[in-house]
Structure 1
Amino acid sequence: MVVPVPELAPLTPGATRVLEAASRLFYERGIHAVGVDTIAEAAGVTKKTLYDRFGSKEALVVSYLQHRDARWRAHVAEHLAAASAPGTTRVLAVFDAAISWSDENSPKGCSAINARAEIGDGHDGHPIFPEVARQKSWLFELFVELCTAAGVADAESMAQAMMLLYEGAIVTVGMETFARPFEVARRLAGEMLERELV
């Protein structure tokens, strides 16, 4: 199985600067706390350039989430490629990917969860909600595929457990409740898989 990495439209140099600045600022400060003036200034472009390239702040937020997701999927794909034989190792490779990703890329937790927390219940037609839902659905389906390939009898239930461990760990990273939550989640995931496959 190959992890599909979303095809994203190429960006102009100005759009790239805007997206890089926005991505840093949105993650560090929050979406509502960062205005388009701040983003444009950090990117060294005019507000007109920002709107010409992205259309709206909401579209820029969606692009930020999509580009982070593409980088994350590529990172997961590398870990799965290194654990090529089907089995528990491939399921746990998702946690290994998260361990190596989180310190550098997600010290404040999951960008998708953080964005979702800022937009309310998601029933107002805001474009962020479907993007966040798409990312989380993809991860769940990946766990289903990996658990199925590993020979888990009830792959969907196990995938639900893996998803809960993963999501609990990424929230714990952001909350700094205790150290190294993904290592704890990986150990528990391994124990669950081992009991299931004995």
Structure 2
Amino acid sequence: MDISEARNRIVATADGLYNAKGIQAVGMDELRTAAGVSLKKLYQEFPSKSSIVMAVLERRHQSWTEGLDATVRQAADPRAKLLAIFDYLAGWFCQDSFRGCGFINSFAELGAVSPEVADYARKHKESFQEYVAGLASEAGAPPYLAPQLSILAEGAQTTAAIAGSPEAAGQARGAAEVLIDFALGRTA
């Protein structure tokens, strides 16, 4: 299916506005104006605000997955691939647009009233945990390491957003090194 230019523009604009202001704070008229489309075109592309929110979450999932994987693939060995997760976070946290994890933010804002948003946020987090589990397995680490590293990454995202500082990525990376080395039986 060919995605229209207007659809892409609407999703990209909604993503930026939702990230900056929150989902509920952005009305359809503001989105229409910012995207440069008519209200009719907006509703032709998306029958409801919830359909726009889901398209934004899908876009964020794809962006996260591709960006993280590109960083991890550059790492030289399995241990470095696990640590590259935190290198990816460090780069993301330094971006001017960083406002925390869009899935955590969406879940906090809409999870109680939108089962669709809550379910998608859960699936996104599960896919990250599965990704980390695959990297840990490739490194020869025991299964307990992946959830530990996932929790470190999630905590770093929240801490960086609240503190407004990228330092959490480095701190989490340091903790990850200790956990990885212990799990792999390495000593300092």
1:58 and 2:58 are equivalent in the alignment? no
- C-alpha displacement of 1:120: 3.9
1:112 alignment partner, one of 90, 93, 103: 103
- In structure 1, what is the equivalent of residue 175 of structure 2? 188
What secondary structure sits across from 1:109 in the alignment? coil
- In structure 1, what is the equivalent of residue 131 of structure 2? 142
- C-alpha displacement of 1:164: 0.9
1:39-86 Cα deviation digits (max 9, x unpaired): 00111111221111122101101111111221111111211221253x
Q: Is this contact kept in 2: 1:162–1:189, CA < 8 A?
A: yes
1:116 aligned partner, one-letter code: F
What secondary structure sits across from 1:104 in the alignment? coil
Q: Is this contact kept in 1: 2:23–2:106, CA < 8 A?
A: yes
Separation (CA, whole Å) in 1 of partners of 2:5 and 2:11: 10
1:176 and 2:163 are equivalent in the alignment? yes
1:20 alignment partner, one of 12, 15, 21: 12
- In structure 1, what is the equivalent of residue 73 of structure 2? 81
Q: TM-score, normalised by structure 1?
A: 0.87
Q: Is this contact kept in 1: 2:132–2:146, CA < 8 A?
A: yes
Q: Is this contact kept in 2: 1:62–1:128, CA < 8 A?
A: yes
Bigger shift: residues 170-179 or 19-28? 170-179
- C-alpha displacement of 1:132: 0.8
Aligned CA RMSD, in angstroms, stands at: 1.7
- C-alpha displacement of 1:179: 4.8
What secondary structure sits across from 2:95 in the alignment? helix
1:8-60 Cα deviation digits (max 9, x unpaired): x6421111221121111100000010011110011111122111112210110
Identity of aligned residues (%): 28
Q: Is this contact kept in 2: 1:59–1:127, CA < 8 A?
A: no
What secondary structure sits across from 1:33 in the alignment? coil
What secondary structure sits across from 2:176 in the alignment? helix
Cα distance change of structure 1 residues 119 and 34 upon mapping to structure 2, 3 Å threshold: same
Separation (CA, whole Å) in 2 of partners of 1:35 and 1:25: 10
1:102 and 2:89 are equivalent in the alignment? no
Task: Give the 4+ runs in structure 1 shifted more than 2 A.
Answer: none
- Structure 2, unmatched stretches of 5+, are none
Separation (CA, whole Å) in 1 of partners of 2:167 and 2:19: 20
Q: TM-score, normalised by structure 2?
A: 0.91
1:133 alignment partner, one of 122, 144, 164: 122
What secondary structure sits across from 2:24 in the alignment? coil
Separation (CA, whole Å) in 2 of partners of 1:20 and 1:34: 14
Separation (CA, whole Å) in 1 of partners of 2:179 and 2:2: 42
Alignment: residue pair count: 185
